[in-house]
Amino acid sequence: MIWLWAALATWAGATALNVALAGSALAGRRAVRLAIPALFGATLMVLWEGAVRGLKVSPVILPPPSAIGARIAADLPLLWTDFVQTIVKGALPGYAIGCGAAVLVAVLIDRSPFLQRGLLPVGNFVAALPVVGIAPILVMWFGFDWQSKAAVVVVMVFFPVLVNMVAGLAATDRMQRDLMATWSASYWQGLAKLRLPAALPFLFNGLKIATTLALIGAIVAEFFGSPTRGMGFRISTAVGQLALDLVWAEIAVAALTGSAFYGLVALIERGLTFWHPSQRARA
Amino acid sequence: MKHVLPVLTVLVAILALWYAGAVAMNGRWARDQAARAGVEIGLAEILRDTMQQERPVLPAPHQVAAEFGKTVFATKVTSKRSLVWHGWVTLSATAVGFALGSAAGILLAIGIVHSRAMDLSVMPWAIASQTVPILAIAPMVIVVLSSMGVTGLLPKAIISAWLSFFPVVVGMVKGLRAPDAMQLDQLRTWGASRAQTFWKLRLPASMPYLFASLKVSVAASLVGAIVGELPAGATAGLGARLLSGSYYGQTVMIWAALLAAAALAAALVGLIAGVERVVLRRMGMAR
């Protein structure tokens, strides 16, 4: 019981501290802005640990964070092979191919308003569909190894990026395009110097959505058949063996990878679209 | 109406590609069979055969349509072979999850808008929670809940709620902050309390944002419900149908289930869009 009370006390204390910090004059500082969510996250961990120990929850239902941490430390090589199989071989090539193809298609159909009017509603519709459902079909076509996972990722990321890129290419206004015309810029010059840069904020919007989709696609595709390694494979077999600490270890790796991937794309975005109001407001 | 012709063209092109793909991918099987039987077959036979194989690599559209029609209209709704029945199982989990998720999202957004501490501490984690491939947790949620005695609808609904809450939080926070300083000042000069400001200004102003994110989140919650049916040997629902189709190589069945899922997604998004149109028109906000 003492664990539970200690955790609840920590939670109350940290919340009070957070409220005080957020209300104080320090709240504008960068360090404080990072400290508040970090404190909140740490509190959640303490609460989790305390609740599991205090209420004597069986590790088969919910292992405490300390056990998960120990499992990560003990099984690093295993986690690394799964990471390579799922992320490096499955998700990343799929992400690159899918996003590249979507950008290319967007540029190609850009010259034809007819195709745009036809493809956009279809693309929007497909983007809302449960695309993961094609995973079993692609696993059948491309086999159990990483090729089928990459294919699922390609299909999953293609439409969100396409829709965003097409919207981005339409984002310049008439005045800017007229200016390019008065400089007698060719179509390709106008594309390279005005419309592609103007499309970047939209493109990155799509790319950021696609990071999560890529991980989801690669992991879920492994539920339908995979070699004996990979994060999705490990999760589904470890659940069967009730080795929940290993499942949580995989989830922690997936979460870290997902956040890092998203953060990386966001960093590149900040570097390339520094001129956009949404980036300047933050600085 | 200027959209109808281009969209139709694209759809026809997709169908044509689909048929071409079916011929190309199923052709090898047809040729192998013929070679094994020791007969020479021409293009016409290959074409005919690729359109009607029992377990094609890529079923032709009319095969999928036939299977879809058979399992939706020609089978009794209560039968386990009926896609309507499977679709209903998935739809009920989706609906419960969507309701839970969007309610949680709206409440969280209200908290975030009204408490600075919550804004600073919760919002980064809400964003981080979405960079986590949450579907990866689906099998575990199902197994853990079933070991605690919770089975059936609820575990799936929880997964779909988790997927659907985030778009609502983001959209609703944006919407509740949509009133500009002038409007907020106006209410302050009228001596409005925080609750009054919320009910009379912030909430109505957030409606367009709310509906936009509800459309995203209803699609997400359908994905959640389908993926929630994949693990742990579920026997009912569109996800289970996909899984058993992939186990037994019943490609036509997979495609029919996919078609049903697509139709369901379209119907759900269409339903929200309809409610949106009515509500916004009644509020005088229709564009």
What are the extents of the domains in chain B? 4-57, 83-282
C-alpha distances (whole Å) from A203 to each of B52, B130, B287 are 42, 19, 27
Measured between beta carbons, the chain A residues lying within 8 angstroms of B25 are 141
The per-residue pLDDT for B165 is: 83
Interface check for B10 against chain A (CB to CB < 8 A): the answer is yes
Which residues, given as ranges, of chain B have pLDDT below 50?
none
Question: Is it the case that residue A253 has pLDDT exceeding 80?
Answer: yes
The per-residue pLDDT for B102 is: 92
Instruction: Give A92 to chain B, closest Cα distance, Å.
Output: 14
Instruction: Give A98 to chain B, closest Cα distance, Å.
Output: 18
Interface check for B15 against chain A (CB to CB < 8 A): the answer is no
Instruction: Give A202 to chain B, closest Cα distance, Å.
Output: 17
Which residues are CB-contacts of A55 (< 8 A; sequence separation ≥ 6)? A4
Record: contact A132-B223, CB cut-off 8 A: yes
Record: contact A118-B148, CB cut-off 8 A: no
Distance CA B92, CA B156 (A): 10
| CATH for the B83-282 domain, from 1.10.3720.10, 3.60.110.10, 1.10.10.10, 3.40.50.2300 | 1.10.3720.10
Lowest mean pLDDT of A101-105, A140-144, B196-200, B215-219, name the range: A140-144
Residue bearing the bigger pLDDT, A20 or A79? A79
- Longest distance between any two alpha carbons in chain A, whole Å: 78
Instruction: Give B216 to chain A, closest Cα distance, Å.
Output: 7
Which residues are CB-contacts of B43 (< 8 A; sequence separation ≥ 6)? none
Question: Is it the case that residue A281 has pLDDT exceeding 70?
Answer: no
Structure tokens at A1: 């019981």
Interface check for B140 against chain A (CB to CB < 8 A): the answer is yes
Record: contact A140-B251, CB cut-off 8 A: yes
Over residues A81-92, mean pLDDT: 85
C-alpha distances (whole Å) from A266 to each of A26, B71, B121 are 26, 46, 20
Measured between beta carbons, the chain B residues lying within 8 angstroms of A39 are 121
Q: Do residues B72 and B83 make contact, with C-beta atoms less than 8 angstroms apart?
A: yes
Residue bearing the bigger pLDDT, A278 or A161? A161
> Taking Cα atoms as reference points, which of B239, B223, B188 lies closest to residue A126?
B223
Distance CA A36, CA A26 (A): 11
Record: contact B231-A251, CB cut-off 8 A: no
Which of A:197-256 have CB within 8 Å of B?
Answer: 211-212, 215-216, 219-220, 223-225, 231-232, 235-236, 239, 242, 244, 247-248, 250-251, 254-255
Give the mutation candidate from A11, A124, A140 for the B interface (greatest B CB count, under 10 A): A140
In the three-class reduction of DSSP (H, G, I as helix; E, B as strand; rest coil), residue A266 is classed as helix
Measured between beta carbons, the chain A residues lying within 8 angstroms of B117 are 15, 18-19, 21-23, 36
Which of A:161-200 have CB within 8 Å of B?
Answer: none
Which chain B residue has its CA at the smallest distance from A126's CA?
B262
- Longest distance between any two alpha carbons in chain B, whole Å: 92
Mean pLDDT of chain A: 82
Interface check for B255 against chain A (CB to CB < 8 A): the answer is yes
pLDDT in tens, B119-131: 777 777 777 777 6
Instruction: Give B41 to chain A, closest Cα distance, Å.
Output: 25
Task: Grade residue A101 by pLDDT with cuts at 50, 70 and 90.
Answer: very high
Distance CA B151, CA A138 (A): 30
Residue bearing the bigger pLDDT, A103 or B35? A103
Question: Is it the case that residue A99 has pLDDT exceeding 90?
Answer: yes
Interface check for B128 against chain A (CB to CB < 8 A): the answer is yes
Task: Grade residue A283 by pLDDT with cuts at 50, 70 and 90.
Answer: very low
Reported ipTM exceeds the 0.85 cut: no
In the three-class reduction of DSSP (H, G, I as helix; E, B as strand; rest coil), residue A275 is classed as coil
Which chain B residue has its CA at the smallest distance from A141's CA?
B57
- Rounded to 10°, the helix A65-74/A30-54 angle is 100
pTM over 0.95: no
Which chain A residue has its CA at the smallest distance from B223's CA?
A130
pLDDT in tens, A22-56: 777 666 677 777 777 788 888 888 888 888 887 77
